[in-house]
Amino acid sequence: MPISVPIRVPTSAKRNEVSIMSGDTTIKDAGTASGAGTVKNVIDVTDVHAGYVSGVNILNGCNLTVAPGEFVGIIGPNGAGKSTLLKAVLGMVSIRSGEVKLENEVITGKKAHELVERGVGFVPQTKNVFPSLTVQENLEMGCYLKPSRFKDRLSYVVDLFPRLGERIDFRAGALSGGERQMVAMGRALMLDPSVLLLDEPSAGLSPALQDQCFVQCRKVNQSGVAILMVEQNARRCLQVVHRGYVLDHGTNAYTGTGRGLLADPNVIALYLGTLAKSTGGH
């Protein structure tokens, strides 16, 4: 049976700081999302079956929720359907049955551009910047639906990622992998999304830059944006998120707080491998 555990977070819930320095083996609780209250979820995925080719389902009954301000991670083996799940939320893959809701409204079958307009930001794993355009031009592209908000959104993005302010006239293709990832996230934040979908933001980065990337994701989340993040770096992912889902063969295998999943012997044995074993999960 797929497991889904919607959470209700008291507005007074305090978030603990998270430590994700390279090589750090101390797992501090990522805490809970603040300001969520009992407000409707930003995203509800209910029993979704979906696939690319007729008659072949990649997702076989996925269930997932993201509360306002929550940071949710999806981990799982290669080919489990993690990216497909993000694409299903964003209307980029056919949903055969089940339902996706955005702030309580059914959005199953809506097109990606409509959803972006309605507050869903998406950062794909690859080709997520325009390399020949400058940082500023990339951010302008992110704001094309609401150009009048450009100045205001630019200052928010540069506050979050001061490095982008320093590199504003550089071509994105000339930046480091970590800086390009900031451009990609910044671009997706230009439309002031209520939820950001991130597909493997740390992929291809050095260990130090991966840590920086997770710190940035936390920063974005702490600025009030809910995040649904797919990650291949399962252990780091579970350290920074409030809640996580383990996806296997297109269905939910395990669900819990990031801390709970890190300590779960089945999750350790099946999905976290020797790295998690060596830290004992706690």
Ligand X SMILES: Nc1ncnc2c1ncn2[C@@H]1O[C@H](COP(=O)(O)OP(=O)(O)OP(=O)(O)O)[C@@H](O)[C@H]1O
**Interface with Mg ion (CB under 5 A):** 82-83
- Side chain identity at residue 13, one-letter code: A
Alpha carbon distance 135, 237 (integer Å): 27
Q: Which amino acid is at 225?
A: V
DSSP 125: S
Q: Does 54 bind ligand X (CB under 6 A)?
A: no
List b or e across 5-27, with b for residues whose CB sees 16 or more CB atoms inside 10 angstroms. eebebeeebebeebebeeeeeeb
Residue 45 to residues 72, 185, 204, Cα–Cα distance (Å): 13, 23, 29
Q: How far is the CB of 212 from ligand X (least distance, A)?
A: 22
Interacting stretch for ligand X, rule CB under 6 A, among 16-24, 50-58, 106-114, 209-217?
A: 50-58
52 binds ligand X (CB under 6 A): yes
Question: Is 198 near ligand X (CB under 6 A)?
Answer: no
| Of 32, 41, 57, 83, the one binding ligand X by CB under 6 A | 83
78 binds ligand X (CB under 6 A): yes
Site pattern 55..74 for ligand X (x: CB under 6 A): ---x----------------
Reduced DSSP (H G I as helix, E B as strand, rest coil) percent helix, strand, coil of the chain, to 5: 35, 25, 40
For residue 52, the partner it binds in Mg ion, ligand X, none, with Cβ less than 5 to 8 A by kind, is ligand X
Q: Give contact residues for ligand X (rule: CB under 6 A).
A: 52-53, 58, 76, 78-84, 232
